[in-house]
Structure 1
């Protein structure tokens, strides 16, 4: 059937296509036939079907990156444009993330103004407190939860407090320069933005906001393999000269990892951080207790779901990770990407020494924030 894009589709006509065997959906004024996509969508058909026959722009903006249908559907699945008068989201069309955000705030005068301005947050602890108040319960559980009994997480914090600074006095500190090179690339500070999955669960523009912030502060962003926006969208949203690193979970379907590595090279990614401290997803009980929201990574394709064990985003979205990854695979990653390789997750002197023999470019000391194994 040839699409007549000059003929607009009314909301009444759109509503007729709300079944599993005849499923249309409108996003940003474009009407798509997603019937075949239902069976291919890794998040399951329910996510699409609950918005079938509607203008679900607001719903999809909450959890999906722009262009999901353009990237995954053939041109003949585009039916036409939605009639302008219908280009509003119908009541009840938003998904759980949006609803939870709205319900999170009460009608009190203090909360109507929204969260405090960023400049008003005076410490990391203050930032964490506000995040716990402003994020949805599921988002907060996903970001803050750690593995099992939280022992490793607590020890991480305790060990950090044991690092003492010995001050030296009578030094000229009128001009202080924190600039450093990280893997040969300039940074205004001796740190970078670590990868965090599904940033769109917090601000709607997720990793795009992180990229802008990194550019504004002249630091480097390491993009998560489970980012909510496509890698190309993140990199191309800022100055072409801005450097990026990419965190990698090796997919058990190796051709998918090969495709991602080649795309990373083409986009100018500066280094690959191979995650080795999470061979299997950790048991994050706080994350499991709250039902998963409908969300999917635009890079890995991992999608949320719920099962009899719970709704842990970390566990359910990490099923694609290759549990058979070994030292011998590092040469393949380096050869495929032709980029510097950093081992993210070294936790012992023995493994640090092993890394030297396998010609990695750097090691990243990490136990995944205590979110993987609990010791």
Structure 2
């Protein structure tokens, strides 16, 4: 786990400031391409795909894609926007393919914008009626898609560790104290010199956008509002920059560090000067 305190974003990565992200692509003429041109590049040695109207060169990327190679190969020469947007924030692709942008689709080949509304969470009980984790689980079973439920509720191999975790947590009891003054209660905790109002943090699960359109950005906003902070997963739906931007300036946070392959990607991640300054 990587802990970042008093993060000063005075030296952001090139292209990762809000201003640079807004103006990206406006400093030079953008190449316009048709879907027919994209479709011709559907081979291992020349692979293009489209995400949200932008054409990317993904030649050689499938083998290193964190989410598996098959999903990338499935969209060689095609528009992958729907599949991408289901699990990723709009800016994440630039983290991996920033220099591989080829151009943009011509206007007549852009897909019709889908209605951003969702009916998946309609008819659910009020949040204040959910009293414990079992209630949350029951509601999630009703609301999640089959794919999301399988991802969230699943575990690796024979799931023995997951079952053991639940079993041991059930053995923990909070002992009540009687005839004690509760006029002044303090639930705060200090970790690495940073003080938090409550000792409650999120587990850094990947791809939170599967369960909420704002993904880890929503967790960052919520934890900061409650006086705690986010543990950012390595394989997040949104880029680290987008998540940190949702926190107050200089607010501390944790970062889950996976030893990703190839190792050069790990070095690139640790070399983010703005992240560890």
Same fold (TM over 0.5): yes
Please state how far the C-alpha of 1:206 moved relative to its aligned partner. Answer: 1.7
Higher relative contact order (CA 8 A, sep 6+): 2
Please state how far the C-alpha of 1:254 moved relative to its aligned partner. Answer: 4.6
Pick the aligned partner of 1:118 from 124, 127, 136. Answer: 127
Aligned position for 1:246:
255
Compute the RMSD of aligned alpha carbons: 3.7
Pick the aligned partner of 2:177 from 146, 163, 168. Answer: 168
Aligned position for 1:58:
82
CA distance in 2, matches of 1:171, 1:227: 44
Q: 1:179-258 counterparts in 2 under 5 A?
A: 179-251=188-260, 254-258=263-267
Aligned position for 1:289:
none
Please state how far the C-alpha of 1:244 moved relative to its aligned partner. Answer: 0.8
Is the Cα–Cα contact under 8 Å of residues 64 and 261 in structure 2 kept in the other structure?
A: no
Please state how far the C-alpha of 1:120 moved relative to its aligned partner. Answer: 3.8
Is the Cα–Cα contact under 8 Å of residues 56 and 102 in structure 2 kept in the other structure?
A: yes
Please state how far the C-alpha of 1:226 moved relative to its aligned partner. Answer: 2.8
Distance 1:64 1:146, change over 3 A: closer
CA distance in 2, matches of 1:59, 1:166: 48
Q: Gaps spanning 5+ residues in structure 1: where?
A: 92-101, 106-110, 270-375
Q: Secondary structure at the match of 1:31?
A: strand
Could you report, residue by residue, the CA deviation over 1:209-240 in whole angstroms, capped at 9, with x for unpaired residues? 21111111120212223323332332233222
Is the Cα–Cα contact under 8 Å of residues 32 and 78 in structure 1 kept in the other structure?
A: yes
Is the Cα–Cα contact under 8 Å of residues 30 and 103 in structure 2 kept in the other structure?
A: no
Distance 1:23 1:140, change over 3 A: same
In terms of mean alpha carbon deviation, does 32-41 or 124-133 score higher?
A: 32-41
Is the Cα–Cα contact under 8 Å of residues 58 and 100 in structure 2 kept in the other structure?
A: no
Is the Cα–Cα contact under 8 Å of residues 9 and 80 in structure 1 kept in the other structure?
A: yes
Matched, 1:266 2:274: yes
Q: Gaps spanning 5+ residues in structure 2: where?
A: 1-27
CA distance in 2, matches of 1:38, 1:147: 23
Matched, 1:88 2:111: yes
Q: TM-score, normalised by structure 1?
A: 0.53
Matched, 1:30 2:54: yes
Please state how far the C-alpha of 1:205 moved relative to its aligned partner. Answer: 2.6
Q: Secondary structure at the match of 2:206?
A: coil
Matched, 1:47 2:71: yes
- Count of matched residue pairs: 246
Is the Cα–Cα contact under 8 Å of residues 88 and 207 in structure 2 kept in the other structure?
A: no
Q: Secondary structure at the match of 1:128?
A: helix
Q: TM-score, normalised by structure 2?
A: 0.69
Aligned position for 1:19:
42
CA distance in 2, matches of 1:62, 1:143: 15
Is the Cα–Cα contact under 8 Å of residues 92 and 238 in structure 2 kept in the other structure?
A: no
Distance 1:245 1:7, change over 3 A: closer
CA distance in 2, matches of 1:136, 1:26: 25
Is the Cα–Cα contact under 8 Å of residues 223 and 247 in structure 1 kept in the other structure?
A: yes
Q: Secondary structure at the match of 2:103?
A: strand
Pick the aligned partner of 2:94 from 59, 67, 70. Answer: 70
